Amino acid sequence: MSAEDILNEIKEEVIKRAPGNAAITDVQFEGSEVVIYAKNPEIFSNSFIKELARDFRKRIAIRPDPSVLVDPEIAKNKILEIVPDDAEITNFIFDANTGEIIVESKKPGLVIGKEGSTLEEIKKAIRWAPKPVRTPPIPSETIKAIRATLYRERADVKEILRKIGRRIHRDVRLREDCWVRVSFLGGSREVGRTSLYLQTPESRILIDCGINIAVEGDKAFPHFDAPEFSVEEIDAVVITHAHLDHCGFVPGLFRYGYDGPVYCTRPTRDLMTLLQKDYLEIAEKEGKPTPYSSKDIKKCVKHTIPIDYGVTTDISPAIKLTLHNAGHILGSAIAHCHIGDGLYNIAYTGDLKFESSRLLEPAVCQFPRLEALIIESTYGGYEDVLPERDETEDYFLRTVAETISRKGKVIIPVFGVGRAQELMLVLEEGYNQGIFNAPVYLDGMIWEATAIHTAYPEYLSKNIRNRIFHEGDNPFLSEVFRKVKNTNDRRNIIDSDEPCIILTTSGMLSGGPSVEYFKALASDEKNAIVFVGYQAEGTLGRKIQKGWNEIPLMGKNGKTKAVKVNLQVHTLEGFSGHSDRKQLIRYLRKLKPMPEKIFTVHGEVSKCIDLASTAYKLFKKETRAPMNLDSIRVK
């Protein structure tokens, strides 16, 4: 039976069972949902929707028929009439595909009203479904551009969703001898270009699709030459988080023929888009070949289906996906795949942090069912025990204060997403406590990434949410932070005698403004560079860590120049967004249920092997440290 036949059967049943005055105009598959369009959507009760979902075993969404929606300009005016001025509404975003309108305001409680009374009044007046959200304190150009694209090309987006829906809901005969296989296309016994290929007889799922920015050529990208892999056969792409070693090549899939969905959290979608654009810009400036264009990034945005933590979604006929907090960066997720009707459950941690940080809550460690786990091993080696966070923060602030006191500048190369915001919180507290008195300049994508963080406060730690919402104190807006707007600002900072702190991308000095600051400031012993993140082998950051006294770097004229390294070099591993060995083992101890198989990936060779060996000794389960191009049948 085709997807169209299945849909027609559902349509007939919905029309037969719906209230007589519902005025149903259409029933469609859109992504994982069965969407019912009606001229009177408000008459569908929650119990009726739950009954349909149970009987069809599919998610049901009720939406107003577009013909009953009030014109957006009229709708705006009506909302402004209904909602008190004290709410301070700042923006309206209409989503014609879902019939929703996002109402941004400084006091969303006044848009909601007592027990939702104002929302109900708005809904009756305009027929759109209002979604009140708090106005982000820092406007994000990335979010604005994504929303504009989705609104401008809404007809395209709707057709994409319907095409995806027909693929998900196609009729598949589940075999009794169903097998499950995972191929490791990248990021195994290495850090970079992470990509896993999950296969069953009916489904092909690509989990993560990264780039290794530390190398060039074929080794920068996943092994798409694996015999079992085909872009045309992929049912879905799942992205655990927005760092380029996990998401950097996703637009390239669309360039080479992929036309399906990309699943991730909403913050991951926005941050992923930001980092992919930045990657392109840096590559073009440096004259390096690029694996895709900005058009491919736009295509990726249109095909992305955001899902919230804890929401289970069909992504193929036989696989359901649930994303859980991984504690690594904003929106980072553990991908839990439920295969078949209770047949098999496999989870991939992505990058993992199993402790509370200033920015985020710790990773989730409990699942309904779990037969196999794929876990990262960045710091899984026998000697990988990171310093305590308090000690690291104290040493960091002392280093900053000492450099400032000798009139120097502190360069802190950071990943623009995650590590930068964590350090902003530490620096804000240090400044408030009087530990140092100097400006903190934010260069590269850091300001924009921070803007995206402020747009999703529900993904931040409870402490930060309380400070922002209940105490009216947003640490990201501290007077100590200053945005570097252009190259003139950067040149002024370098040329000035003013002591300062510079948070700048990229984190491994593999491109971007961090390299410019290093070139200009490396020779002065008053200055310091502080590494707070992993430096991959072969990167400029790793060379500096190793103690090179002179480093050849390309100048603007295309000639190589030797840069003398006289500034102080510090490496602080306690800020890592990854769990160290102790935390990884503690995560496995706390894991419920304990899986029968554990695979270690995303680490140097010895670290993956060490963690797999230790897990076997401790838990007496099957453990492996697969290599790239290994294909393992797990069921």
Residue 254 lies in a domain: yes
Residue type, 537: E
**Structure confidence at residue 560 (pLDDT):** 83
DSSP-derived secondary structure for 338-373: EETTTTEEEEE--S---S--SS-PPPP-B-S--SEE
Residue 63 lies in a domain: no
pLDDT digits (tens, 9 = 90+) for 469-479: 777 788 999 99
Quick one: pLDDT band at residue 21, thresholds 50, 70, 90?
Answer: confident
Q: Is the pLDDT of residue 243 over 70?
A: yes
User: Nearest Cα to 415, choosing from 481, 351, 324?
Assistant: 351
Q: Based on the domain organization, do 378 and 403 belong to the same domain?
A: no
Q: Based on the domain organization, do 445 and 560 belong to the same domain?
A: yes
Q: If you average pLDDT over residues 137-156, what whole number do you get?
A: 92
As a whole number of angstroms, the distance between CA 412 and CA 268 comes to: 24
- DSSP at 126: H
CA separation (Å) from 16 to 12, 23, 73, 353? 6, 12, 36, 50
The label of the residue with tokens 């939702």 reads 116
The label of the residue with tokens 């076997």 reads 616
Residue 350 lies in a domain: yes
Residue 41 lies in a domain: no
User: Nearest Cα to 336, choosing from 306, 362, 369, 363?
Assistant: 369
Q: In this structure, what is the dihedral angle of CA atoms 88, 93, 96, 100, given to the nearest 10 degrees?
A: -50
The label of the residue with tokens 């902003």 reads 424
Quick one: pLDDT band at residue 175, thresholds 50, 70, 90?
Answer: low
Polymer length in residues for the chain:
635
Quick one: pLDDT band at residue 177, thresholds 50, 70, 90?
Answer: confident
**Structure confidence at residue 216 (pLDDT):** 84
Q: Based on the domain organization, do 363 and 328 belong to the same domain?
A: yes
Q: If you average pLDDT over residues 52-69, what whole number do you get?
A: 91
Whether the CB-CB separation of 303 and 262 falls below 8 Å is answered with yes
Residue 221 has φ and ψ, to the nearest 5°, of -120, 160
Total domains in the fold of the chain: 3
Cis preceding-peptide flag for 316 (omega within 30 of 0): no
pLDDT digits (tens, 9 = 90+) for 84-127: 999 999 999 998 888 899 999 989 999 999 989 999 999 999 99
pLDDT digits (tens, 9 = 90+) for 528-567: 999 998 787 788 999 999 989 889 887 766 778 888 999 9
Q: Is 273 helix (H, G, I), strand (E, B) or coil?
A: helix
Which domain CATH number covers 79? 3.30.300.20
Cα 201 from chain centre: 29
Residue range(s) defining the domain that contains residue 354: 178-383+578-633
Q: Is 97 helix (H, G, I), strand (E, B) or coil?
A: coil
Residue type, 416: G
Residue 619 lies in a domain: yes
**Structure confidence at residue 471 (pLDDT):** 76
Q: Based on the domain organization, do 330 and 472 belong to the same domain?
A: no
Which domain CATH number covers 266? 3.60.15.10
Residue type, 203: S
pLDDT digits (tens, 9 = 90+) for 593-631: 999 999 999 999 999 999 999 999 999 999 999 999 999
**Structure confidence at residue 472 (pLDDT):** 78
Structure tokens at 187: 């990021």
Quick one: pLDDT band at residue 464, thresholds 50, 70, 90?
Answer: very high
Whether the CB-CB separation of 260 and 236 falls below 8 Å is answered with yes
Q: Is 546 helix (H, G, I), strand (E, B) or coil?
A: coil
Residue 590 lies in a domain: yes
Q: Based on the domain organization, do 296 and 250 belong to the same domain?
A: yes
Q: If you average pLDDT over residues 14-29, what whole number do you get?
A: 89
Which domain CATH number covers 542? 3.40.50.10890
**Structure confidence at residue 499 (pLDDT):** 97
Residue 554 has φ and ψ, to the nearest 5°, of -75, 130
Among 571, 590, 621, the domain-final residue is: 571
Residue 40 lies in a domain: no
- CA 200-205-207 angle, to 5 degrees, is 130
Among 533, 554, 571, the domain-final residue is: 571
Q: Based on the domain organization, do 192 and 264 belong to the same domain?
A: yes
As a whole number of angstroms, the distance between CA 450 and CA 439 comes to: 17
Q: Based on the domain organization, do 543 and 436 belong to the same domain?
A: yes
Q: Is the pLDDT of residue 438 over 70?
A: yes
pLDDT digits (tens, 9 = 90+) for 331-377: 999 999 999 888 899 999 999 999 999 999 999 999 999 999 999 99
Q: Based on the domain organization, do 447 and 379 belong to the same domain?
A: no
**Structure confidence at residue 174 (pLDDT):** 63
Q: If you average pLDDT over residues 369-398, what whole number do you get?
A: 95
Instruction: Work out whether the CA dihedral 453, 455, 461, 465 comes out positive or negative.
Output: positive
Three-state SS letters, 582-609: HHHHHHHHHCECCCCEEEEECCCHHHHH
Residue type, 309: Y
Q: Based on the domain organization, do 552 and 589 belong to the same domain?
A: no
pLDDT digits (tens, 9 = 90+) for 266-324: 999 999 999 999 999 888 888 888 999 999 999 999 999 999 999 999 999 889 999 99
Q: Based on the domain organization, do 551 and 607 belong to the same domain?
A: no
Neighbours of 443 (CB within 10 A): 24
Q: Based on the domain organization, do 84 and 203 belong to the same domain?
A: no
H or E segment and range at residue 154? helix 154-168
Question: Is the pTM higher than 0.85?
Answer: yes
**Structure confidence at residue 587 (pLDDT):** 98
Residue 54 lies in a domain: no
Among 528, 545, 571, the domain-final residue is: 571
**pLDDT > 70 fraction of the chain, expressed in percent and rounded:** 99
| Mean of per-residue pLDDT scores for the chain | 93
Q: Based on the domain organization, do 395 and 349 belong to the same domain?
A: no
